[in-house]
Amino acid sequence: MSNPLARLFGSLANVVLDLGLPTIRGWLRDRLGPDADVADVSTDGSIVRLRGVRIPLGPRGLVVLDEAAATITSLGDAGPALRLRSFEGVLVFTRGDLRDRFARADDAGAVQDVANANATFRADVAFTASDDPDPAAWIWGDLAILRATWTTSADVPAAPLEGAARLFVSSRAWRLERGRLDGGPSLGGDGKLPVVARFAAAGVLERDDRDERDETEEANAAELLVPRALSTLAFTLEHGRIGPFLEALTALAGEDAVRARIPAALPRDTRIDAELSWSATEGARAELRLHAPTLGARATLRGDCGPTGAGLGARVDASVGLAALLRRFGAPALATPRDEDTVDVVVTAAGDVRAPAIQIDVRAHELGFRLGRPRFVPAVVVRDVAGQVFVSGGRVVGRIDAAARGRIVTAELQAPALDFAEWSVAVRAAALDAPFLRDVARTLGAPLAIADDASASVALAFGPPRRREEEAGSAASGTVTLAVGGSRLVAELGVPDVLVRVTGGVKVEDVAATGVFERAAVWPSRGDLVVALDVARDLRARGSLVAASTLLLSVRQHEGSLAYELEGAKVDLTLDRAGLRYEGLRFSGHGGRFAGYGAVPFSAPARDAPPYLVLQLEDGGPTLAMQLLRLAHPPPAIDVPPLLGARGTLALATDLGLAIDLGLATPNGTELAVALRIAKGSLDRSTASGAVAIEDALVVARAGTTPLSGIVHVDAEVVEGAARTVRARVSSAKVEYAPFVLEDVSAAVVVAASGDVLWNRAGARLADGRLSSFGVARRGGAVSARVAAASVAVHELPPIEGRMFGAYVRGRASGTVLGHREPDGALEARGDVVLDEAAFPVIDRARPALARYGLRPPNEDATGPAVATIALDARGVRVTEVAVSLYGASVRADVKVSPARAIDGGVEITLEEEYLRTSKLLTLPRVLGERLVIPIALGGTTAAPEVKAELGQTLGRFLRDNKVVDFVASAVEEAQLFFRKDAAPAARSEPPPATREAELRAAIDAHAADWDALAARRH
């Protein structure tokens, strides 16, 4: 190594004899380079003074001396030509282009200004010669280094260094003795102790007799680890820091020469205490103690090697906080252990310093991973961590194994160069069993039940994050496979533009077994799904689910659950931190075809949050309708018309309320709009309006075959209150109950919370008269009703089995009947009937028979209202207190028909004297008296009635053969339709009619507010 100052002052004495400035500049530039310069040279006796000296130090450094003074000692060759007395100046390092600019400046002042403003390293230097110089020295004295500073990456000046050394330079050798540098107090106020460096060094200067060197010596010198100009070195460092040290090296040698050779992960606040020595004959020895608080690391290095770098023997014992180190490498949180976890590292190196073979042994009792979760979350722990890393030829490879609940997890490390600009870690686990997966679920905060047959395999590779300008991607790549039961999911990392891609097949039963649907209102409970999901870097996931088989969807109820079978189900999903959103939902089930969308928030939903589920029913039928009706609690005991068609929407709100809006239609004429609102499993704020075919209503009510037909208009609603009820108004222009036709039918209907159905203010027109009714149908099956008729023209009633009422009787019937039916079908009824404007055309049919007695038929017009009382119970039908008054005659009757259709009764016909006088045969008072009473006994059955008269065979035959008997027999037979055809139930005591009617009226009056509300709606 050639020393510029030595070359300068070693031959200056021969030059100063001439004292020509151009000659001196040429002499400087010839020895020190074209940028060397001196502004002025003068002599004062034996003293030579040089001003404005500029000496270049490599491509970045420059020494600028304001003034240097030397004493001319002799002009001969025996001793030095001169001895340096003193100099003052500055040592500057900066960028190469700036150094060239101020090194060639003409103005020395400008040089100082530029140097001070643009220096990356700057130190004031001064030299003072010793009073008792070594006779062989031309430089011997004290060198002072003042205010050595450099720029840092944070643009904050480093704490300045100041120091001194004893400098000896002869024509053949040089020495630095008692060297020391002391750092100033920390500028950051962090209480760090100032750095102290002690040094001593010695070496030889380049000899002039180069041609005479021994070639072997030159070859050996070329192999030395340190150039031969440095013969010995002793260096100690206390309280040093890697950061300032690297910054100083960067300021002196440039970033390209330093950064690429220092691991970027090494913290800048790492403390260094070092003892280094070098000998050209014995080699190098070093002991370093490192402490990196930010890594939680401590390390001790001891090593030595020969002068050429061969025979290396070194060992590092370290304890490192792995989490901080991995973060500095840019490892993701998923792969970062707990901050408190440390690993013990032993590094051994052998071979040659220039290309060492390094082995790194790593051990840790356990490492815990929180998978990116907060510090208070229990970690997933692996134990017995052990492995080795090898460094050879600048390449790093290694393998570390750990036990995860008894299963081995392997991590393999590779780095193509020691600067770790490129690195990779491959993590593999062939099988991780259910206990470990339970640990992972616990750490992730997922309250999942992990089945015993669950397992996972891992094959991941981690590397440094890619630059933004390169193809977007993750620092991790590979796959994680999860299998349980019949399900298998693969999570793929490293897909372009995607953080994780999840694909595979899932059995819904396996998912349900984890308990993820435990509190769900609607959840899949059976089926197979194909999953395709991409998770972006912002953790938003998009993808689709497609059902590969029939999917069973369950809906939670108060007791148990309901299930819906879905075919061809598929949906597009978007998942983020806010919740799950889905659209494009399509499926078919129970005869219905659906499309829908919805959202499931992961926190308390906002008031304006979209509903959990919105389904559009594109087409539906009776099977689907029955499934939907099962949502009500309790489910209504009804059937659905077999040809029912439905369209509409179903919406499940965030409060788990269900809204169903349906349009129902049948070929029979039903067109009904139904709005069901179901809250907590019960109907709430629901309505139904439109037209209902009575045939369909009978199917819904499970009424069996009844000769009813017509279209009824319905307007119903569910009313909230202490007892939730349903109010409805029904009306129809015409209802047929063969053979009868009711017109202008209307009624108010209430369905009580108990399930009882009540009707009131029911009315209809029949045969130019009016019918009215109120009653109740109990949920258990009992029915009570009061039916009143007013001025019904019986002669206008339709025929029954071909018999016209008008051929037998005419008039307007009025009356009231109170009836009751028990759940077993037994009937009870009582009432009175009055026939005004009564006439009996049937009497004329007796004209031929009466003519034989010289009688004409009585006038068919009654002289007053005809009355009768009707009673119906388990013992049969009884018509009593029948009273008909005619001109000249009257009829009284009492007839009973048993459930077995047996007839028992009697009719009493009284012929008045006025009527009897019209017959010459029946005028003898002694024979007939004032009137003639004809008793008639009725017996037999409705199929074969028997009529017995006690007055003569002729009258008996007359009474038996005329059409009145036929009519009475038919009426009795039709009354028998009210009875069951099987054996009659046991007779029961008949409650007083007043009691039965009071109970019915009390039931109706309990809903007075409902009747008033329905009446108001009608108007």
Range of lowest pLDDT (359-373, 604-618, 884-898): 604-618
Give the integer Cα–Cα distance in Å for 811 and 861.
9
**pLDDT above 80 (res 1001):** yes
What is the band of 79 on the pLDDT scale with cuts at 50, 70, 90? very low
**pLDDT above 90 (res 448):** no
Q: Residue 584 corresponds to which amino acid?
A: G
Q: C-alpha 931: how far from its chain's center?
A: 99
**pLDDT at res. 78:** 46
Give the integer Cα–Cα distance in Å for 934 and 479.
110
Question: Length of the chain in residues, anyone?
Answer: 1019
**Rounded average pLDDT over 647-662:** 82
What is the band of 849 on the pLDDT scale with cuts at 50, 70, 90? low
pLDDT tens figures, 219-264: 455 577 777 767 888 888 888 777 776 676 666 656 655 544 445 5
**pLDDT at res. 689:** 92
**pLDDT above 70 (res 132):** yes
Give the percent of the chain with pLDDT over 70.
75
pLDDT tens figures, 569-586: 999 999 887 888 989 999
- Find out whether 718 and 740 touch, Cβ atoms under 8 Å: no
Strands 592-601 and 613-620: antiparallel
Give the integer Cα–Cα distance in Å for 780 and 978.
21
Give the percent of the chain with pLDDT over 90.
20
- Find out whether 699 and 636 touch, Cβ atoms under 8 Å: no
SS3 931: coil
**pLDDT above 90 (res 361):** yes
pLDDT tens figures, 802-822: 668 788 789 999 999 998 888
pLDDT tens figures, 933-950: 778 788 888 777 777 755
pTM confidence score: 0.59
| CA distance to 77, 78, 91, 166, 234, per residue, from 139 (Å) | 17, 16, 19, 10, 21
**pLDDT at res. 145:** 86
Tell me which of 903 and 625 has the higher pLDDT.
Answer: 903
Tell me which of 975 and 399 has the higher pLDDT.
Answer: 399
pLDDT tens figures, 266-319: 677 788 898 988 888 898 898 989 888 877 889 999 999 998 889 999 999 999
**pLDDT at res. 956:** 43
What is the band of 20 on the pLDDT scale with cuts at 50, 70, 90? low
**pLDDT at res. 316:** 93
**Rounded average pLDDT over 955-981:** 40
- Find out whether 726 and 750 touch, Cβ atoms under 8 Å: yes
Give the integer Cα–Cα distance in Å for 263 and 273.
19
Strands 645-652 and 903-911: unpaired
- Find out whether 283 and 240 touch, Cβ atoms under 8 Å: no
**Rounded average pLDDT over 557-580:** 80
Range of lowest pLDDT (125-129, 500-504, 650-654): 650-654
**pLDDT above 80 (res 143):** yes
What is the band of 986 on the pLDDT scale with cuts at 50, 70, 90? very low
Angle at 231 between CA 227 and CA 237, to 5 degrees: 95
Tell me which of 208 and 270 has the higher pLDDT.
Answer: 270
Give the integer Cα–Cα distance in Å for 182 and 868.
135
Tell me which of 722 and 803 has the higher pLDDT.
Answer: 803
